[in-house]
Chains A and B, each alone.
Chain A
Amino acid sequence: MSDVEYDVAILGSGPAGYVAGIRASQLKLKACVIEKDKPGGVCLNIGCIPSKAIIHEAEGFAALAGMEELGIKVDRAGLDYSKVLKKSRDAADAMARGVTFLLKKNNVPLVQGTGKITARGEITLGDGKKIRAKNILVATGSSPKQIPGFEFDGKIVISSDGALMLSELPKRILILGGGAIGCEFAHILSAFGVEVILVEMLDHLLPLEDAETVAVLERSFKKRGITVLTGTKALEMKKGKGSAAVTLEEKGGKKRTEEVDKVLVVVGRGPNTGGIGLENVGIKTDRGFIPVCDYYQTEVPGIYAAGDVTASPLLAHVASKEAEIAVEHMAGHPTIPRIDPDTIPGAVYTEPQVASFGVNEERAKREGIAYAKAVFPYRGAGKSVAIGKSDGHVKVLYDPKTHEILGAHIVGAEGTELIHELLLAKYSELLPEDIATMIHAHPTLSEAVMETARTAEGWVIHV
């Protein structure tokens, strides 16, 4: 018998899967992780990590313009984008090796193969080998969604995967979808000098974010020369040789056609729940997502699901946390039944960055949540002026009676780091007063967070 018995078999090795494997091992569960591709999933291989590597290079490249202001002559013509790609691949490969190492260190076997659930407690691999486990965690992640008329061809019409694997830059690109991924690519490509048309069907970029906060990003994008078309639909596309003509309909019905050499379609991601054998155990998906109840259990006992396959926000840090909760529940370890959605941070790596958690103004109005807001402009913090990044604000929504923090929204330099002071406050139930009275080092961008809290308390200094 070559069949192996585990406490938990994990399908997928992304931020949900590999974290689940390690957590299981910590809790003395016998676990294995099954992966059909490279360890680390989308996040490490073709998502968060390589994109951050490219953004880093893009920002370095864009900063050279600042050097010229100092009289330094920089010849930027030598940019070889394939080297940027290589650096990002090196980062991704290093991280994937790191995942392999961590799993090994924790004695979690990484099984290479395509696993399919064939019964409760049984996963069958492509080669017919069976893995038996008391519990199964489905963590197979998500893939880029297509839209009719704009199917990926890998050459002209590309997905985020394709965009991350570009070895040379297009001249003119149309990005369909103004969510986090679309905005990040708009930022990257425009920083490298590509002409970018960013199209979003809804009224704002980052439609789930606080509108007043996003407006700052939209202004900044436009100032940089990115064509931002919100409230705009893509009607059709005619492909030519090495280019495409996309017909758009702006709000009010005005049509325009844009000729571009690449179309990047980033309209969202869909769960990878087909072909993994859910039907064999009677799990029915809901619009592709796996329904879960407390502790990320599916309706079938012993089968759990975490990460992008569930209907929670498609974020790596959410996937990891869900996986931890699921495994802790399997092990009988004390844990929480589910993540509080208002404490999930979102981070968009544009310039300026956008970061947030919890209630925004639109939601507060929609749901009738009483709120007051405190907004402090970046330029009130000396550090932002000193480094020439004074665009942005910190905004906190709080309960008008108790001052409980309801949500926070930052747009500006290092916003994705600054958000955590406010999130810690929310998570541990500190009040704006606690942040307002705590000494913050000068000069830092964090002073903007302190001043926002002081605004809420009615004694802001630097405005």
Chain B
Amino acid sequence: MAEKVLMLALSPTMEEGTIVRWLKKEGETVKNGDILCEVETDKATMDYESIQEGTLLKIVVGEGGAAKVEQPIAIIGKKGEDYSALLAEVEKGSPSKSPAPGAGGAGAATAPATAGGVAASAGGPAVFAAAPASADFGETGNGRVKSSPLARLLAQEAGLDITRVAGSGPGGRVVKRDVEGAKAGFGAGATGARSAGPVAGGASPHSAPIAAPAAAAIPSALKSESVPISGKRKVIAERLSQSMFTAPHYYLRLAVPADAMVKARAALNAKHDRKVSLNAFLIKFAAEAIKRFPAVNSSWQGSTIQMFGSIDIGLAVAQPDGLITPIVRDCGSKGVVQIDAELSALIDKALSGKLKPEEYNGATFTISNLGSFGIDEFTAVINPPGSAILAVGSIKKEPVVGPDDRIEAKTLMRLTLSCDHRVIDGAVGAKFLSTLSDFIEDPVRILF
């Protein structure tokens, strides 16, 4: 009996996946555990490990094509079996977001155009990450999802699969705010609601296969092509454009002597098993400066300004396919060692694509540090809902005119603060940045 192969939720927040490449060809035998294809989710590229067995009869969604979770991507069954009825059902049922592989498409058993000629060398048993972490998703272990009746109803109305919504209620129960967060998509705030990539609808044409970040070789020549955008790229694009084009940015720059901070860090690290990062220091200094200028820790809401009761600082972290800002919460009440411990755990998660939405949504202030890339100074786009972002350049020695007009070498770090003028006026931004630089220059001043 031929059956559909459905797109699985390969990450907790995944709603839609793009097939990067098929590792099995039509006609090939598939065993339970074989890797069928690679799927790009909203956060990472994952292997799709088969939970079905038989012969891969038909690939429905070709490379570069996208399918929502639970939508069929292929048909599997016995060799030579007639699956035309099932195919007709599949083609009728799915809004066919992607062209069927191969030019012919309509016919029954035309071989897919596996352009790359990929061999199905699965190697050893692959680790499969299909099942969402049950603790986060309110599953009770028997397939039942803990969710409130209202949340179920709202999810149904919104066409959301409740099993894919992370619960923030008691015992991980999915409640109304989670569904609303999922509906609103990325940036729902720190409600604990999961974020979903923008629900499909306005997807771009999938005319060309997407380049798999890790697997594809660097092309030897430039090629003119239209590359489908990932859900994540779309979120980054939308949020940053919205920030740049609605928040009137202005920029404040200064160069601050960094010796004392470097020394303080060395002194701390000498006594501490784990090395505390420079970023943890910057977060701590920023939090202390925010305490003195709470206006920086706020958000323009149209008719009101939201002042945040907690200093939640995000740090921009580069990922192979984008960036993400894990957030250390309530930095105002934490010491640098605790901030560093939380930060490094978050960065590990960010790099492995395992951050939960509540760990990256709703920064009230953001730091972006490109110093390690050798950048001296740069300007950053404000990361909503925050109203300011600090761009940190490299620390290096520079000639400085000293008090007695002599040129001397000083270790400087260049900072650029981008502010949303709707909320933070120039004088406030300036006082904040100069206080922050005071702390960096002389950390003892935090005690003042």
A residues touching B (Cβ–Cβ < 8 Å)?
293-295, 297, 301, 332, 337, 402-404, 428-431, 433-434
How many A-B pairs with Cβ below 8 Å?
A: 38
Across the interface, which residues of A come within 8 angstroms of B150, CB to CB? 402, 404, 429-431
Cα distance A430–B309 in the bound complex, in angstroms: 31
Cα distance A431–B152 in the bound complex, in angstroms: 11
B154 at the interface (CB under 8 A from A): yes
Cα distance A271–B204 in the bound complex, in angstroms: 60
Q: Are B153 and A431 in contact (CB under 8 A)?
A: yes
Across the interface, which residues of A come within 8 angstroms of B308, CB to CB? 294
Cα distance A293–B149 in the bound complex, in angstroms: 31
Cα distance A295–B332 in the bound complex, in angstroms: 14
Q: Are B176 and A297 in contact (CB under 8 A)?
A: no
Across the interface, which residues of A come within 8 angstroms of B307, CB to CB? 293
Cα distance A332–B176 in the bound complex, in angstroms: 26
**Given A294-B309, A301-B291, A301-B332, do A430 and B153 touch, yes or no (CB 8 Å)?**
no
B175 at the interface (CB under 8 A from A): yes
**Given A301-B332, A402-B153, A402-B157, do A429 and B148 touch, yes or no (CB 8 Å)?**
yes
How far does the Cβ of B413 sit from chain A's closest Cβ, in whole Å? Answer: 28
- Is the interface on chain B under 10, 10 to 19, 20 to 34, or 35 or more residues? 10 to 19
Kindly report which residue of chain A lies nearest to residue B147, judged by CB atoms.
A429
Across the interface, which residues of B come within 8 angstroms of A293, CB to CB? 307, 309
B residues touching A (Cβ–Cβ < 8 Å)?
148-151, 153-154, 157, 169-170, 175-176, 291, 307-310, 332-333
**Given A294-B310, A337-B309, do A433 and B149 touch, yes or no (CB 8 Å)?**
yes
Q: Are A429 and B309 in contact (CB under 8 A)?
A: no
Q: Are B309 and A402 in contact (CB under 8 A)?
A: no
**Given A297-B309, A301-B291, A301-B332, do A429 and B157 touch, yes or no (CB 8 Å)?**
no
Q: Are B176 and A429 in contact (CB under 8 A)?
A: yes
Across the interface, which residues of B come within 8 angstroms of A428, CB to CB? 148, 169-170
How far does the Cβ of B159 sit from chain A's closest Cβ, in whole Å? Answer: 15
**Given A293-B307, A404-B176, do A429 and B151 touch, yes or no (CB 8 Å)?**
yes
How far does the Cβ of A436 sit from chain B's closest Cβ, in whole Å? Answer: 12
Kindly report which residue of chain B lies nearest to residue A426, judged by CB atoms.
B150
Kindly report which residue of chain A lies nearest to residue B190, judged by CB atoms.
A337
Cα distance A430–B169 in the bound complex, in angstroms: 13
Cα distance A433–B152 in the bound complex, in angstroms: 13
Kindly report which residue of chain A lies nearest to residue B332, judged by CB atoms.
A301
Kindly report which residue of chain B lies nearest to residue A434, judged by CB atoms.
B149
Kindly report which residue of chain A lies nearest to residue B149, judged by CB atoms.
A431
Q: Are B149 and A429 in contact (CB under 8 A)?
A: yes
Cα distance A434–B148 in the bound complex, in angstroms: 11
Q: Are A429 and B175 in contact (CB under 8 A)?
A: yes
Cα distance A294–B332 in the bound complex, in angstroms: 14
Q: Are A430 and B148 in contact (CB under 8 A)?
A: yes
> Which of A294, A297, A337, A430 is within 8 Å of B149, CB to CB?
A430
Across the interface, which residues of B come within 8 angstroms of A430, CB to CB? 148-150
